[in-house]
Structure 1
Amino acid sequence: MEREQLILKWLKNELNHEELKAFKKLEDYNDLIQLNNALETFKSEEYNTAEALDLVLNTIKSKKTSTSWIKNIIRVAAVLVISFGPYYYTTTLDTKYSTDVAQKSLIELPDQSIVNLNAQSTLIFNKSDWKKEREVNLSGEAFFKVSKGSSFLVKTKTGVVTVYGTEFNVKQREQFFEIICYEGLVGVTYNSQETKLKPGDSFLILDGKFIAKEKENNLEPSWLNNESSFKSLPYKQVIAEFERQYGVNTTLINVDKNQLFTGSFTHNNLELALKSITLPLHITYSKTNDAIILKGE
């Protein structure tokens, strides 16, 4: 077997007994082992490419050997870098959590902050950068309990939430952006302007317009307890959330999607939920497989 093949199989831990004996007979066997031990730092959790390169170069410079050996050892170092490259790449990737329809997820961030992710939502963050920058990207809805520490940012495509407190809810859907502060102090940046929210305060942008809301008296969002609540919101928002929680398709006939609705529906009883969102508006409903038809008067 060629020398290069032996070295490559050794790096991959694929040598059989006979190949291992042949590898140990290589003239630079001891040097290869020594370099490999030095390059074990490539496996550390805090991977630093600059430091790793310096280590390789210093190791090579410290060897008073022939030019051919240096060329060989540089090739070995290159193979090691390529071998550990995927490790480095995967440890710097973003972490992504997504929920499907009728699904919720409880997520613990690297600083023990807690995120409850509502149905059809996505949360993305980078673990490797977390100590330097606590930042998440959110699409959908989530309730946050943030541990004390450095600044904490929640980025959405509509606006940015800067955390000065600990408990708040962020909901970013199509034409809907709402933040409710439950504890501490929260800053919401929308159109380059920041608004500070104290406990009970909310910030709502609906169809591109700011909507003033009454003080929030609850200690946490109702969806954490499997119930969606609405206060004077367009009926289309109610239907969208209903479809999200039950995984159904809804067809509206002679129903005004923009009429305002105040009420709630449960997430664990379809029949009861349908009655909750139809009876107050004198709407009738019928079901066909996973499709629901709502008819107005």
Structure 2
Amino acid sequence: MEKKVLIKFLNGTADAAERSKVMQWLEKDGSREKFDRLLLDRWKNVGEGEDDERDYEALLNKIHARILRPSRSIRPNPWVRYLRVAASALLLMASAYFLKQSAEYTEPVPVISERIIERSTSDGEKLQLTLPDDSKVTLNANSTLSFSSHYGLKERVVRLSGEAFFEVAKDPEKPFRVETDGHMTRALGTKFNTYARSGNFAVALTEGKVAVQGAQTAIELQPGELARSSGSTTISVGPFDMDQVIGWKENTLVFDRKPLTTILEDLERWYGVEMAVDPGLNVNRRVIGTFRNKNLNDVLTGLGFSLGFAFDIDNNTVTISKNRL
């Protein structure tokens, strides 16, 4: 008898002709021993170890005892009963084995490593970002914003160097935090501007409420208030002019008694140029003026007329010199 036919018979996949063929074969001498060996081989392919061998011997003895046990009632062909018992036992063993394997196997949970995402602007460049929680950020020139790739999963934290305007999506369970050197600003759903350059720090609130934490001071701002710190642990609070502080976002430059030297540094960032200033020019003079949507040439023309200097633009280099009139 072909082994594959016997296996199909045990698995219940044999057709009618194959089943009849097996039944006829089992009537022959020696067929029982061969069948026992086949059952043992199948058992060993399912289980392992001494306990499995003892289980097999016990099962085989029970099968044989059941076949040989006398009965007062009319019973079917003992080989049919034998095969049914053997096939059921094999199926049970296979099911138990695979259930055991399934119980021991645990689907591995993929671990996504955390990384830092960084967005930067160069001189003369602005950038608008939408964070994963739909909070919006407008990044001013020469600024850097960084945050974790896990942002929003447990907390909402960004780190800023430079200047940015934030429109924070509301999430009371996960306060939005902006970290800068020496300061931290905490908000829920609000709009505010943060400035952090060269030891100078400022937060201007336009909507909602924020808390500002310094090294030794913590204050809470209301809309229209600005918190400022300059190289010290003290944070001062006062009102601010919207155009002057946040005008850059709408391409509006407002100078309120600002020294020319600071204005020229701002222009370098905003327009992406390098200033070469005549040493004889008084750069400490203060300026009052507003420029809306003006190009660099228009801004310098207005400043030069008020302060008495000439300028020359050569690609990305601007030369500022005293007026020789």
Structure-2-length-normalised TM-score: 0.58
Structure 1 or 2, whichever has the larger Rg, is 2
Call closer, same or farther: CA 1:265–1:259 in 2, change over 3 Å: same
1:221 to 1:147, Cα distance in 2 relative to 1, 3 A: same
Matches within 5 A, 1:74-153: 88-89=112-113, 92-149=114-171, 150-153=174-177
1:233 aligns with 2:258: yes
Per-residue deviation, residues 217-271 of structure 1 (Å, max 9, x unmatched): 5598211211222333333332122111211110222334444333234565121
Residue number among 49, 54, 62 corresponding to 2:104 in the alignment: 62
Residues 84-141 of structure 1 deviation map (CA, whole Å, 9 limit, x = unaligned): 7xx833xx21221111222211111111111111111111111314231111001111
1:290 paired residue number: 316
> What's the offset of the Cα at 1:189?
1.9
1:278 paired to 2:304: yes
CA shift for structure 1 position 272? 0.6
Matched residue type, 1:178: A
> How far apart are the structure 1 equivalents of 2:292 and 2:189?
29
Distance in 2 separating the partners of 1:241 and 1:274: 12
Deviation track 1:64-95 (CA, whole Å, cap 9, x = no partner) reads xxxxxxxxxxxxx9xx99xx7xx833xx2122
Q: Distance in 2 between matches of 1:129 and 1:225?
A: 28
TM-superposed CA distance for 1:143, in Å, is 0.5
The answer on whether the counterparts of 2:167 and 2:190 sit within 8 Å (CA) in structure 1 is yes
Corresponding residue pairs, total: 219
Cα distance between partner residues in 1 of 2:222 and 2:195: 17
Letter in 2 for 1:237: T
**Percent of aligned pairs with the same residue?**
28
- Which amino acid counterpart does residue 260 of structure 1 have in structure 2? R
Which deviates more from structure 2 when the two are superposed, residues 141-150 or residues 175-184?
175-184
How far does residue 146 in structure 1 lie from its aligned partner after superposition? 0.5
Q: Secondary structure at the match of 1:88?
A: coil
The answer on 1:264 being equivalent to 2:290 is: yes
Cα distance, 1:215 vs structure 2: 3.4
Between the aligned partners of 2:218 and 2:257, the Cα distance in structure 1 is 25
For the residues of structure 2 that align with 1:232 and 1:165, how far apart are their CA atoms?
Answer: 33
2:201 and 2:229 in contact (8 A); partners too: yes
8 Å Cα contact 1:182-1:200 kept in structure 2: yes
| Partner Cα separation in structure 2 for residue 234 and residue 191 of structure 1 | 29
Structure 1: tracts of 5 or more residues without a match: 1-57, 64-76
In structure 2, how many angstroms separate the alpha carbons of the residues matched to 1:233 and 1:213?
18
Equivalent residue number for residue 169 of structure 1: 193
Alignment partner, residue 155 of structure 1: 179
3-state SS of 1:221 partner? helix
Confirm or deny: 8 A CA contact 1:229 1:263 kept in the other structure.
Answer: yes
Q: Which runs of 5+ in 2 are unaligned?
A: 1-99
RMSD: 3.1
Asked if structure 1 preserves the Cα contact closer than 8 Å seen for 2:274 and 2:317, the reply is yes
Whichever residue aligns with residue 144 of structure 1, its letter is: F
Which residue number in structure 2 is paired with residue 197 of structure 1? 221
Give 1:161 shift. 1.1
For the residues of structure 2 that align with 1:101 and 1:267, how far apart are their CA atoms?
Answer: 17
Shift of 1:293: 2.0
TM (norm. structure 1) is 0.63
Q: Secondary structure at the match of 1:277?
A: helix
Aligned-pair distance for 1:61? 7.9
- Give the aligned partner of residue 29 of structure 1: none
